[in-house]
Each structure stands twice: as C-alpha cells, then as structure tokens.
Structure 1
C-alpha cells in the first residue's frame, strides 16, 4: 500500500469534529441539573454524581470537559461554577439561557439536511412561527443575556434620549427591547407593532412584566401596506430589515419610518452584520448559512448598505456603534436623525 505524502495538517480539523459537540455537552449538564447543583457550594465528583443520580465515571468526564471549556473551576478535587455558568446556566438566574441553547441546538438540525435543502429546496420561512409562548420565552431569555442591555445602553447614550417621550418598536414581538429602553427613561412610552396574532399574545406578557400603561402592543401587517402611525421621537427595529434589504424596498420602508418620526426624531436599527473578524465572523457565516437553509433571505446587513439606504430615504447625522464597541452578538447599531425643519 502506498501512503500519500501530506502537505497539510489535519489536527485542527480533527479537534473541531469533537469540540463542535460542546453545545450538546452543556445541554446534557443542564438537563442533569449540574449547574443548579453547584449553585451554593462546590462538590467533588462522587458527591455530585450522587446528587445527580448519574454514573460517577461519566460525570467525571463531563465535569472535565466543562472545566476545560471555562464553565467550571476545580480546586482540591472539588468543582465550582465559573462566572459564565453561574450567570447563564443556573436556572434561577435572571439571565438564564437554557431555552436559547436548546433552540440553537434545534436550529443546527438544519445542517443535517443541508445537502437536500440546497438541491431540492426547503420550507418557506413563516414569520408567524414566532407567535407562540415557547418562542416568546426563548426570545426573552436571549434578550436578557445581553442583547436588551446592549441596545438600551446604545440608545440611552444618544444626546436626544432624555427628551424622548414617544417610541415605536417595529416587529418587536412582545416588546422586550422596549421594556429595557423604557427602564432608562421614565417619561417615555412605547407602542410595539407586530403581526396581529403576536400582538394579541403580547398583551398578557406586557401586563405581567408591569409595563401596562407605558407599553402597548398593536397588530399590523406591513407586507399588506398597513402603517405604524406617526408622531414618534424614536423608532426602533431589531433584526427585522433583512427581507426589505434584498432590493429597493428598504429605501421605501425607511421613508415610511422617517414620515412616522417627529422633526429631530431618531431611527435606531439593531442588526447582525458580517463586518466582523476572526471567530465572530466564523459564527456569523454559519448563522447566515443556517438562515438561508431555513428559508430566510439573509441575517446580515452591512454598514455600507444600511447607511446608503438611510441617506436615500432622507435621514441625516448617522451614529454607528460597531460590534466590537459593545454588542456581544455581533450586532451593528445605527442611529439616524430626521432633520429639524
């Protein structure tokens, strides 16, 4: 047998075949209640496996993966939570991300059918898939993990923010971003627009969260030409402009947004972008691939594309925050103003 002479090293790719399973490893730990068990005190392998009702040897292997991954620390044979796992994987934490992890693992199933979808076609994306309680809970968890805080921080940094009184949140689900923004300005009220079935489901969430009277959900079908009113100091969109960005329609939509704003009003867009580097770019490219496999046109808008469309729509004085300047999920934040007459 003649073996080939190798000019490249397969080591990094070989390691990737195993590290790619890290989400499933964390999901297993969550399902066992491992992070919750370590919330109050550190434990050794034998003690922890007893609490979990799991095999000791397998538990020890799982703990070592989590330690090496930066989710646990180990001292004198006892394992303890690291800050990331304490913040995001303990079920009682306000920033718990368990549902987000499960959703992303489910999304990865698209990759198992990628070849078939690419050659035979797949399902058409349905925005109404977001109109259910489970998805709303998942989106809220994801927002609490840093997205809401990041968006609210950017908007609160705008010089106009303290004088704003009325806000419109387009395609804002049940208004979880609006809630974070309202918390920064007690004189601000908001209307969140989404599909009628989403708006109907949003009402109880808004009341339960304590924003009734300051935040209202209204149903609208923008694809059918319905509008979202006028007289706003702030119009906010997050992860919505993608479908509009495919053609000239984005300029038409942004003109509608400008008409809804008061003179001196501000439009803020929060969207993922491929204008990043390194591991951030790798994750964004995989997300983009999965998005297209799922029947959606794109999940990224470049700064150049959006700022050009904003100028064509008549906006001025653009403020940009790059992903590396504050958003953990590779989000590009852009604020654009309506000129004061």
Structure 2
C-alpha cells in the first residue's frame, strides 16, 4: 500500500519554482559552466557572473530536482542534462523555454485557470488570434524540439518509390519539417504557409539549410489562402490539435483536394491512448489545448481515423515517432 503523502500536491502548486530555476540556469548557461569548470562552485560562479551564494542555492535546488548530482561539494551533470542542456551539445534544446515559459504562455495558465475549465476552452482566442506574435517566438525557440523528428520523417519519405516533387507545409512555423523534406528529396519544391512574420523565420532557416531556391511561401490563414493543387505530399505538423473535429475535417478536406493522385498527407501530433491518461506526455497535452485554444484537443488514433474518413481519405494510419512523444498520422 502506498504511503499517504501531500508531496505530489505541494510539488504541483510550487511548479512555477521549477520553471524559474530552469529559466535562470539556461539564461546563465549554468550547465555548460558546470561541465567546463569541473563542478567547482567558485569557478562556476565566476564564469556565469553570479554570486556564489546564488549559484550554490540554484545548483542545490537543481540537484534535488534531478538535473544535477552533487559529490564532495562538486556538481555533476546527469547524462540527459549534458545532452540537452549544455549549449555546446548538438542536441541542445534549451531554447524551447523561450516559448513554453514565455510570459504570454504562463499567463494563459496561471491568471485564471478556473475560467478556461468552466468555459471548456480558452476565454477568447487564446493563442489562436491572427498574426499572434507568440508564434514567432515558437518558430525561433522550438527548432531543437522537432529537428530529430523532422529528419526521421524525411528519411521515411526518402524511401518512397517515387520522391515527392511538390510539397505543401501547412502552418510551417520554423519550416523545419518542409526543409528536411527538401534536403532529403533534392527534386522537391516546398510551399510553406503561415503568418508573414512567422514565415520570415522559416525563410531564414531555408537559407541556412541551402534550400531557399526551392522554398516558397504563402502568407495568411491556412483556412483562407489558396495554395494550389497537385501536391505529392502535404505536411500538417502540430496543427490539427488546435481545432475541434469539424474544423479538422474541414482542413483535411481542403488538404485532400490539393493532393495529386497517389499523394499523401502527413500529420505530426500528440496522440494519447483511448484511456486519455497514457502515455503521459501525449495525454497531458489536452490540458495545454484547454487553456490556449477555444476548442483544441489531443486526439486519439481512432479520432484521427474518423476525421480522415469524413474528409474522404480511404486509409489513415498512426505510428509513434520515438524518442519523440509524438506520433505520425498518415492520410492516404
């Protein structure tokens, strides 16, 4: 029998303190300093230009939270911290704090959480207002979170019998998914849609990746712009979860109408099991949508299949994308 304890409750209501600690550590590049200075507090403090007292307290807190280890007065990184939170690591993903913990985001959840629960969704448009500047933050911050997944999908596409020639990337954001396809299929032209300010970030990334000559953009709402037809591949990454099922069907119907014969649409999304409480990351994502969108949700495989059929697709398949917490949904 489990012990009765208030620990989980106290941990939950003080969760903002973890966010603050992580924001401070990343802003100071603390984890890189710990690795470079062999965990010695005095040298770490000098490197990050912060008080030794403050750094000690922060490092002790991060040790309690499992991000560090402490041995004989020295701090050590865990393998995961070393891989993902040192700025010298190719897998560094510290930038995502600039979106996930942005003031615009934290306000949505903490200012009046009762309101969005009572309302069954955000009061107002949440993050869904046209040209919301938070999506520029998203485009600049979230690249490390999706890069490996984008490369894995591009690798799958590269094994298709016929490489896609025309690719549409809906709500492209940073553009990483479409850019990965362009690199894997040298004959492919990519058309990306999103708000104009967001597309500027995607175009910067396309230039850096060396595919800008084959990367084209159309600014505006994905529901309103005319993006053309005869696409061999349409990417719908991290987009459908923002809307209710009828709206998703509307978008998927538009997508189906823009595909070439034999074309496919690929969605990347958080897909919980039918119980809606597992796996943890995907299941918890529905709460993210509750606070930040009027009618968004995390949809199960069965729900994606149903929406796909209503939109006219004859085959819908869902497969996990490890180590990512997301899944690939294929509409054919």
| Range class of TM-score, shorter chain | 0.7 to 0.9
Shift of 1:192: 0.9
Gaps of 5+ in 1: 1-6
- For residue 63 of structure 1, the aligned residue among 59, 64, 67 is 59
Aligned match of 2:148: 149
Question: How many angstroms does 1:174 deviate by?
Answer: 4.3
- Cα offset, 1:168, TM superposition: 0.9
> Could you give the per-residue CA deviations for residues 213-272 of structure 1, whole angstroms, max 9, x where no partner exists?
122222243433x3321122111111222355432x433432322222222211101122
Aligned mates of 1:234, 1:113 — CA distance in 2: 41
Partner residue of 1:28 out of 24, 31, 42: 24
Cα distance in 2 for partners of 1:132, 1:304 equals 29
Assess, with a 3 A threshold, how the Cα gap between structure 1 residues 327 and 221 changes in structure 2: closer, same or farther: same
Work out which of the residue numbers 270, 273, 282 in structure 1 matches 2:271.
Answer: 273
- Distance in 1, matches of 2:130 and 2:78, equals 37
Q: Tell me the equivalent position of 2:139.
A: 136
Correspondence for 1:331: 326
- For residues 308 and 290 of structure 1, do their structure 2 counterparts lie closer, same or farther at Cα, with a shift above 3 Å needed? closer
1:320 paired with 2:318, answer yes
The 3 A distance-change label for structure 1 pair 279 and 319 is: closer
Whole-Å Cα distance in 1 between the matches of residues 97 and 201 of structure 2? 23
Contact 2:193 / 2:222 at 8 angstroms: preserved in 1? no
Let me know the Cα RMSD of the aligned residues. Answer: 3.3
Equivalent residue in structure 1 for 2:82, among 77, 81, 86? 86
- Deviation of 1:209 after TM superposition, in Å, equals 3.8
Contact 1:149 1:180 in 2 (8 A): no
- The CA distance in 1 between the partners of 2:7 and 2:124, in whole Å, is 36
Query: Larger Rg: 1 or 2?
Result: 1
**Is there any run of 5+ residues in structure 2 with no aligned partner, and where?**
none
User: Residue in 2 aligned with 1:231?
Assistant: 230
One of 30, 40, 46 as aligned partner of 2:42 = 46
SS of residue paired to 2:229: coil
Aligned counterparts of 1:87 and 1:276: Cα–Cα separation in 2: 33
Counterpart residue number, 2:306: 308
After TM superposition, list the pairs within 5 Å mapping 1:205-244 onto structure 2. Answer: 205-224=205-224, 226-244=225-243
State the secondary structure of the residue aligned to 1:297.
Answer: coil
Normalised by the length of structure 1, the TM-score is 0.79
Query: Measured at CA, do residues 109 and 281 of structure 1 come closer, stay the same or move farther in structure 2, by a change above 3 Å?
Result: farther
In structure 2, what is the Cα distance between the partners aligned to 1:27 and 1:79? 19
Q: Distance in 2 between matches of 1:172 and 1:179?
A: 10
Alpha-carbon separation, structure 2, partners of 1:70 and 1:274? 26
